[in-house]
Amino acid sequence: MDGDCQQMKKTELIGLVKELKESEKETEWYDFKREWPSNEDLLHDIICLANNTQLKDAYVLIGIDEGNEYECRDTRFDQNRKTTQQVVDFLRSKPFAGGAIPDIQVHQLQYSDEIVIDAIEIKSSKAAPYFLNTEYKGLKAGAIYTRVSDSNTPKNSTANYRQTELLWRNHFGLTDTPLEKFKAFLMNQSGWEKSLEHSMGEKEFYKQHPEYTIEHVDDDSRTASEYYHFLQTDQSPHWYEIFVRYHQTVIYGTIGTALDGGRYFSVVPERAFIHTPTHNGFSLERLAYSYGYFIEGTIEYLLYKHFYTNDYDDERIAYERFLEAIVIYKSESEKRLIESEIEGDPSSFENAISDIEPYVYIPDETREIALNSYIDSLKIVRYIQDRLEDIRNEEYRYKLHCKEQ
């Protein structure tokens, strides 16, 4: 995780820790520790929380003394203190069944001027339940450890039947909703096939589970253009309704667009709005800045990836021009970081985008207000793409082409 996003994550975690500390209780998904535990106890704690029956991200919060009115203690001089890499190396050295280990990260949190506490974040995963193939000190081979309320499963015991069943059902996707299953199916692009069924539009189904279908049909009620249409050779807008069905039930719906005269089809990007003193509303004179984006892992992002087939050059060219006109974030935190920077220093942002000149042709008959809005959106996209390069310390692959200053 890059430095800026890591700092935002730490800020969010400090807020969470304060909230949990004030609750003065533990639950299935977080555990207070006065100090770093021994290796045996640390392994037990991590396995229990990784197997929590809330099926959510979990935390070991080290430096909070539950037995002394939840007083915070500095962890910087704890002899058992570990970094992320040290905990990962420790876990990898243990005989986990199947070879998968819990996905963890250690966060060192500046809780106050004098106190640093540590949070071991344990990501929820369908690799759970985690258990050992062979015994390690007091931890039994084959035993599935979890938490009930604020208590770990004892080392000489195992989770009960109901808890074990829930963890295995989640492991095999049996607890997923139809929409969650659909998201998983989208990741297997080759698993989909065109339907022979007569329908109002184009329809495809998932071969292993044909009760899941995706259909997109013309939407003649929409005629307006979006700013990203103007980077295409054929700028005419074509809109569609997208329906995701499980059997006959629509479980998700959104809008699609055919770009460059139908050479490339995509779900429309999400729309973000940025407010500054000069652009702070929805009136024609003071329109808020706006731009299109996807966040990796969301259903919108997975659909956009799904519809791109890369079958011929014209499609690829339209696809790349579309990507130049939008922002793809790696996470919601990354988006919040960028937008909080902009809204925290709007004058610097507006000075920066005033120097950006996108290569774009917009017809002369376009109304001035719409023209300015389209160009502003492209300027914002390029500004954010440049910032993401700085934050990630890596090249942003599809950047909007602009005139050199």
- How would you classify residue 43: left for phi > 0, otherwise alpha for psi between -120 and 50, otherwise beta? alpha
- How do beta strands 289-295 and 327-329 pair? parallel
Cα of first residue to Cα of last residue in the chain, in angstroms, is: 32
Q: What is the pLDDT of residue 1?
A: 52
Q: What is the pLDDT of residue 5?
A: 66
Q: What is the pLDDT of residue 364?
A: 85
Q: What is the pLDDT of residue 10?
A: 81
Q: How far is CA 180 from the centre of its chain?
A: 14
136: which DSSP letter?
A: B
Stretches in the chain below the pLDDT threshold 50? none
Q: What is the pLDDT of residue 326?
A: 98
Residue that has been written with the tokens 């050779």 in this structure? 233
For 348-387, give the DSSP string.
Answer: HHHHHHHT--B-----TTS-HHHHHHHHHHHHHHHHHHHH
Q: What is the pLDDT of residue 4?
A: 65
How far is residue 100's CA from residue 129's CA, in Å, rounded to a whole number?
10
Q: What is the pLDDT of residue 404?
A: 75
Please say whether the dihedral angle defined by the alpha carbons of residues 50, 55, 56 and 58, taken in this order, is positive or negative. Answer: negative
The token pair that represents 163 in the structure block: 């808890």
Backbone angles phi, psi at 27, to 5 degrees: -135, -165
Please say whether the dihedral angle defined by the alpha carbons of residues 256, 312, 298 and 291, taken in this order, is positive or negative. Answer: negative
Backbone angles phi, psi at 90, to 5 degrees: -60, -45
How far is residue 240's CA from residue 244's CA, in Å, rounded to a whole number?
13
pTM, 2 dp: 0.86
Residue that has been written with the tokens 């055919």 in this structure? 258
How far is residue 75's CA from residue 64's CA, in Å, rounded to a whole number?
10
How far is residue 155's CA from residue 163's CA, in Å, rounded to a whole number?
16
Q: What is the pLDDT of residue 199?
A: 72
Task: Give the number of other Cβ atoms within 10 Å of residue 198's Cβ.
Answer: 6
Q: What is the pLDDT of residue 282?
A: 65
132: which DSSP letter?
A: B
